[in-house]
Amino acid sequence: NLKVSNNVKMKRKYLKYMLCVLVLWYLYNYFGIGDYLHASSFKNDFHYPLDVDVRELVNEVLTNQKLTVTPINYYPYSFLSNSGKCSNVEKIDLMIVVKSAKDHFGHRDAIRKTYGNEDVPGRTVKILFFLGVDGKTKSDVQRQIDREMAEFHDIIQMDFVDNYYNNTIKTMMSFRW
């Protein structure tokens, strides 16, 4: 009987011990203590792929020198059209930049007629739509884009295939422009 009682006590003690371990393990993970204890130091351990003296690099770019480092982002695209819309304007109060899909003619028209309307009394407002290309030479979509460019002079086009996965290129295109 004493042996059975000790056996039950040992099982209870073991269960309490296991419960305590599980609770501590849960709290350790829930509160991110492990992440904190094993985190790398940003100051000592972080290295950007282009870990260079930025001042020296900017100086090379500004003085048109050959760069001493290889760029990490290759950007081979060039502008196919430039509306020249902002070339004779001294001051622009509001510039609206719109990433637009190549075949969204109705969307662009709706934007021009609503919040993209440039007729604001006393203010200079400009809107520009940034597009890629259709991917097919002489396509109906491209001919329609060409007509739209001739009519509104607010489309900037670059020579990359315009699809959802190239939105980053389109954003960089607007920065470069």
pLDDT for 127 equals 94
Assess if residue 120 is contained within a domain.
yes
What count of Cα atoms within 13 Å lies in the side-chain half-sphere of residue 120? 15
pTM of the model: 0.63
pLDDT for 2 equals 62
Is-contact 139 99, C-beta < 8 A?
Answer: no
Number of structural domains, the chain? 2
Alpha-carbon torsion 46, 47, 52, 54, what sign?
negative
Residues 31 and 118 both lie in one domain: no
Residues 32 and 118 both lie in one domain: no
The percent of residues in the chain predicted with pLDDT above 70, rounded, is 98
Assess if residue 61 is contained within a domain.
no
Assess if residue 31 is contained within a domain.
yes
Residues 160 and 87 both lie in one domain: yes
pLDDT for 142 equals 92
Assess if residue 157 is contained within a domain.
yes
Q: Report the C-alpha gap between 113 and 2 in whole angstroms.
A: 91
Assess if residue 57 is contained within a domain.
no
pLDDT for 75 equals 78
Closest among 158, 16, 167, 24 to 83, alpha carbons compared = 158
Q: What residue numbers bound the domain in which 167 lies?
A: 77-176
Assess if residue 86 is contained within a domain.
yes
Which portions of the chain are predicted below pLDDT 50? none
For residue 90, the one-letter residue type is: E
Residues 33 and 93 both lie in one domain: no
Assess if residue 62 is contained within a domain.
no
pLDDT for 6 equals 78
Residues 91 and 171 both lie in one domain: yes
pLDDT for 133 equals 93
**Could you give the 3-state DSSP secondary structure of residue 19?**
helix
Residues 29 and 83 both lie in one domain: no
Assess if residue 59 is contained within a domain.
no
The two tokens of residue 96 are 């609206």
For residue 103, the one-letter residue type is: D
What are the residues whose beta carbons fall under 8 Å from the beta carbon of 129, sequence distance 6 or more?
A: 98, 100, 108, 111, 154, 155, 156
Residues 145 and 91 both lie in one domain: yes
- 155 burial (CB, 10 Å; 0-12 / 13-18 / 19+) is buried
pLDDT in tens, 76-107: 899 998 877 878 888 999 999 999 999 999 99
Residues 20 and 98 both lie in one domain: no
